[in-house]
Amino acid sequence: GVTAAIVTCGGLCPGLNNVIRELTNTLIHLYGCKKVLGIRGGYAGFYTDAWQPMELTPEIVNNIHHEGGTFLGSSRGGFEIDKTIAFLKKHKINQLYVIGGDGTHRGAFRIHEECMKLKMNVGVCGIPKTIDNDVDHIDRSFGFSSAVQAAQSAIRTAKTEASCNLPNGIGIVKLMGRSAGFVAVHAAMSSGDVDLCLVPEIPIVLEGEKGCLPFLKKRVKEQGFAVVVVAEGAGEELLGESTEVDASGNKKLPAIGEFLKSKINEYFSKHDPQGATVKYVDPSYIIRSCPANAADSLYCMQLAQNAVHGLMAGYTGFSVGLCNNRMVLLPIPYLVETSPRHMDAHGRTWERVLSITRQPNTAK
Ligand code: F6P
């Protein structure tokens, strides 16, 4: 019989528990899998004595999808190939399901290569996870839709604050997105309440003819207030690159939200005797630690089922995802080669923005 292991790595994302639950159910109910082990706390769980793996059963995972986060715990970095291989041997694992972003997938492929080299019978499958939606080739990553949905109340809050706090109210919402602005743009556009959206893909111009500060002043004059959404990775060109890194090797992001707030205050006090009333909202962890919405729950279920089907059919070193609305298996090197992806700043999303802001045709 098959002994499987499941590990969740990196930052939280809505739907992690749905994936764990469905992997467990499919492995045990559909394929009669002997044992499913949950690895605690990401890759470090393969060798951290205090975090012993836990056996997963359909009963144990039955209600976990109602909660955000991951039942198994997670961590960044901590990848140790030799210790991981030793764990797989010791526990006689022959299927490994790795849920994580592009860095985690690189680790998963390294495990796959090592198992092949050592002629170990271990199938390795990745399941792409990031609220940033920046894993390339797939239509969307699970959790993205829930995060965009959860961001709506923060935008609504910013609008209420901006429109009620006189004079010249401005609300700023900072959303996650280290190198891509998908969450910011999708949340801003679906809200219908945002006047300015700043993303890492487009450099921020503060002043001058196309500057966002004079633009905000114009919007405030027109409607009495303005709402801004900014992705956390935007404006690196203004703030400079940080040299500090986290456990995944990601550079620490400068505080773009606070920076914008001070620039807006400065600009308004210079150009308007009443100044501005700026309120800053940061819902970062709220939007990624919530439970999955219905669309993501369904997607997580399909991803998990197809991951199991793939390994049971004998494939290995692959990841799963929707591509052009079809569930496919993708070779991990192909998936990570161009990840993280960026938003096409001049593509279809922006055409839609232009079409809604274009003046109505009055020439009839
Ligand atoms: O990697 C996904 C992400 O949401 C990034 O957008 C963000 O920079 C990061 O997680 C923050 O996570 P943490 O605070 O856990 O490092």
Nearest CA to ligand 1 atom 15: 11
Measure 13 CA to ligand 1 centroid, in angstroms.
Answer: 10
Measure 255 CA to ligand 1 centroid, in angstroms.
Answer: 14
Q: Does the Cβ of 193 fall within 6 Å of ligand 1?
A: no
DSSP structure class, residue 291:
P
Q: Does the Cβ of 131 fall within 6 Å of ligand 1?
A: yes
Measure 11 CA to ligand 1 centroid, in angstroms.
Answer: 6
In this prediction, residue 235 carries a pLDDT of 92
Return the beta strands (E) in 47-141 as ranges.
54-55, 95-100, 123-128
Question: What would the two tokens of residue 354 be?
Answer: 């232009």
Closest residue by Cα to residue 353 from 144, 159, 147, 196: 196
Nearest CA to ligand 1 atom 11: 11
Nearest ligand 1 atom to the CA of 248 is 16
In this prediction, residue 349 carries a pLDDT of 58
In this prediction, residue 247 carries a pLDDT of 72
If one counts every other C-beta atom within 10 angstroms of the C-beta of residue 323, the result is 13
Residues in contact with 326: Cβ distance below 8 Å, sequence separation at least 6, in sequence order: none
Strands in 318-323's sheet, in edge-to-edge order, are 54-55, 35-39, 3-8, 95-100, 123-128, 318-323, 326-331
Query: Residue type at 362?
Result: T
Measure 244 CA to ligand 1 centroid, in angstroms.
Answer: 15
CB distance 7 to 73 below 8 Å: no
CB distance 319 to 158 below 8 Å: no
In this prediction, residue 237 carries a pLDDT of 86
Measure 340 CA to ligand 1 centroid, in angstroms.
Answer: 13
DSSP for 120-185 reads ---EEEEEEB-TT---SSSS--BTHHHHHHHHHHHHHHHHHHHHHSSSSEEEEEEE--SS--HHHH
CA 160 – CA 180 distance, rounded (Å): 27
Residue carrying the six token digits 């992001």: 253
Q: Does the Cβ of 246 fall within 6 Å of ligand 1?
A: yes
Measure 304 CA to ligand 1 centroid, in angstroms.
Answer: 23
Q: Does the Cβ of 178 fall within 6 Å of ligand 1?
A: yes
CA distance readout (Å), 234 to 13, 74, 120, 199, 212: 21, 26, 44, 5, 13
CB distance 158 to 165 below 8 Å: no
What global pTM score does this model have? 0.93
Catalytic residue among 49, 82, 102, 132: 132
Q: Does the Cβ of 132 fall within 6 Å of ligand 1?
A: yes
**Cis before 340? omega within 30:** yes
CB distance 244 to 252 below 8 Å: yes
Q: Does the Cβ of 251 fall within 6 Å of ligand 1?
A: no
Q: Which of 132, 232, 246 to mutate to test the pocket of ligand 1 (most atoms within 8 A of CB)?
A: 132
Residue carrying the six token digits 């040299």: 243
Q: Does the Cβ of 11 fall within 6 Å of ligand 1?
A: yes
Q: Does the Cβ of 18 fall within 6 Å of ligand 1?
A: no
In tens digits, the chain (364 residues) has pLDDT values of 899 999 999 999 999 999 999 999 999 999 999 999 999 999 999 999 999 999 999 999 999 999 999 999 999 999 999 999 999 999 999 999 999 999 999 999 999 999 999 999 999 999 999 999 999 999 999 999 999 999 999 999 999 999 999 999 999 999 999 999 999 999 999 999 999 999 999 999 999 988 999 999 999 999 999 999 999 999 988 887 767 887 777 777 778 999 999 999 999 999 999 999 999 999 999 999 999 999 999 999 999 999 999 999 999 999 999 999 999 999 999 999 998 999 877 766 565 555 545 445 555 5
In this prediction, residue 359 carries a pLDDT of 44
Measure 80 CA to ligand 1 centroid, in angstroms.
Answer: 22
Q: Does the Cβ of 179 fall within 6 Å of ligand 1?
A: no
Kindly report the backbone phi and psi dihedral angles of residue 101, in degrees, each rounded to the nearest multiple of 5, phi listed first. -85, -160
Nearest CA to ligand 1 atom 9: 11
Residues in contact with 138: Cβ distance below 8 Å, sequence separation at least 6, in sequence order: 128, 321, 322, 323, 330, 335
In this prediction, residue 76 carries a pLDDT of 95
Active site (annotated) includes residue 132:
yes
Q: Does the Cβ of 237 fall within 6 Å of ligand 1?
A: no
